[in-house]
């Protein structure tokens, strides 16, 4: 059943998103062509400048729309009239969350790939690739070696976890928003903003506390190497706390969403 749910959700969500990301790539190609014709961005290349500006706008819109659309699809399918069908299918609420969540995560990753591809189409030349591969080698060499290994692993964990947490954060916001008798979407946005604010407050406190210890320890130390080590430790601590918050949001988000779908479904 999970496979079937995934199939239908993928079909439904991809209709709009394929068109949107097609437009992103189209604008990137047009910008590249206009660059080639006018010889790059300069005072005489109004059209190239216009295409460049439009490309940036389209890329930004696509990125925001993708995230919002993933949340909206969940809202529409589960909490509006269509919920009468979705919630009476012979499937469990967790199967619905997982199937929709996976399509959402996949599209977030695809969105990033398309955006990177669009930037390459607009900007890249032979040198870019060789410079970039050199840079990547250096970054990876630095991050996954010796003292920085933990930082490298934490960065990878954060990157991998981000789409999962983003999707669940939207799902739980939509679910809590649906408990209102009216203005459910507005309520969902409010819940999302609330979660965001709490996250930020915890992060600010973390940075303030760890930053404070950094300043006091660096005042004691005159050794630049020690200061760098402390800096890495602080970055690691901040990332670990961020990961813990993300994991809590992810796990709590899943169970709260499941609970609301099972026990507190509030279809009009």
Partner 1 sequence: MDLDLESGRIIGLLGPNGSGKTTLIKLINGLLSPSEGALLIAGNEPGLKTKEIVSYLPERTYLNENQRVSDVMNFFEDFYSDYDRSRSKDMLERLAIDPTARIKTLSKGTREKVQLILVMSRRAKLYCLDEPIAGVDPAARDYILDTIINNYDENATILISTHLISDVENILDEVIFIKDGQIRMQTAVDDIRVKQGKSVDALFREVFRC
The CB-side HSE value for 163 (13 A sphere, CA atoms) comes to: 20
**Calpha distance 74→82 (Å, rounded):** 10
Residue 222 phi, psi dihedral angles, 5° rounding: -110, 0
DSSP 254: H
**Residue among 38, 45, 92, 238 that touches partner 1 (CB under 8 A):** 92
Place of tokens 């309520």: 187
Q: What is the rounded end-to-end Cα distance, in angstroms, of the chain?
A: 27
Contact map string, positions 224 to 263, toward partner 1, x by CB under 8 A: --------------------------------------xx
3-state helix, strand, coil in the chain (%, to 5): 85, 0, 15
Question: Is residue 40 close enough to count as binding partner 1 by CB under 8 A?
Answer: no
Question: Is residue 179 close enough to count as binding partner 1 by CB under 8 A?
Answer: no
Q: How far is the CB of 261 from partner 1 (least distance, A)?
A: 10
236 touches 150 (CB < 8 A):
yes
Question: Is residue 42 close enough to count as binding partner 1 by CB under 8 A?
Answer: no
**Residue among 8, 53, 196, 255 that touches partner 1 (CB under 8 A):** 8
154 touches 243 (CB < 8 A):
yes
Q: How far is the CB of 29 from partner 1 (least distance, A)?
A: 29
**Residue among 38, 87, 151, 236 that touches partner 1 (CB under 8 A):** 87
Stretch that binds partner 1, among 58-66, 85-93, 165-173, 209-217 (CB under 8 A): 85-93
Give me the residues that bind partner 1 (CB under 8 A), please.
Answer: 1, 4, 8, 12, 15, 81-85, 87-92, 262-265, 267-268
């Amino acid at each position: 059943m999970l496979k079937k749910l995934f199939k239908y959700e993928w079909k439904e969500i991809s209709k709009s998103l394929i068109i949107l990301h097609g437009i992103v790539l189209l604008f990137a190609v047009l910008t590249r062509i206009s660059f080639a014709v006018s010889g790059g961005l300069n005072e005489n290349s109004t059209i190239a400048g216009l295409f460049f500006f439009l490309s940036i706008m389209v890329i930004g819109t696509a990125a925001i729309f993708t995230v919002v659309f993933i949340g909206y699809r969940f809202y529409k399918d589960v909490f509006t009239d269509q919920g009468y069908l979705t919630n009476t299918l012979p499937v469990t609420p967790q199967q619905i969350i997982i199937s929709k969540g996976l399509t959402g995560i996949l599209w977030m990753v695809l969105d990033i790939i398309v955006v990177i591809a669009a930037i390459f189409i607009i900007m890249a030349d032979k040198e870019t690739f060789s410079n970039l591969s050199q840079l990547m080698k250096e970054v990876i060499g630095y991050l996954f070696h010796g003292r920085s290994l933990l930082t490298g692993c934490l960065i990878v964990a954060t990157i991998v976890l981000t789409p999962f947490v983003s999707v669940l954060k939207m799902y739980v916001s939509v679910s809590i928003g649906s408990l209102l008798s009216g203005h459910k979407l507005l309520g969902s946005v409010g819940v999302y903003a609330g979660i965001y604010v709490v996250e930020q407050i915890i992060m600010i406190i973390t940075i303030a506390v760890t930053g404070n210890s950094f300043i006091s320890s660096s005042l004691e130390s005159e050794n630049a190497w020690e200061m760098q080590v402390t800096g890495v430790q602080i970055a690691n601590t901040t990332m670990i706390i961020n990961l813990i918050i993300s994991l809590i949001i992810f796990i709590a988000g899943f169970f709260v969403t499941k609970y609301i779908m099972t026990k507190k479904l509030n279809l009009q």
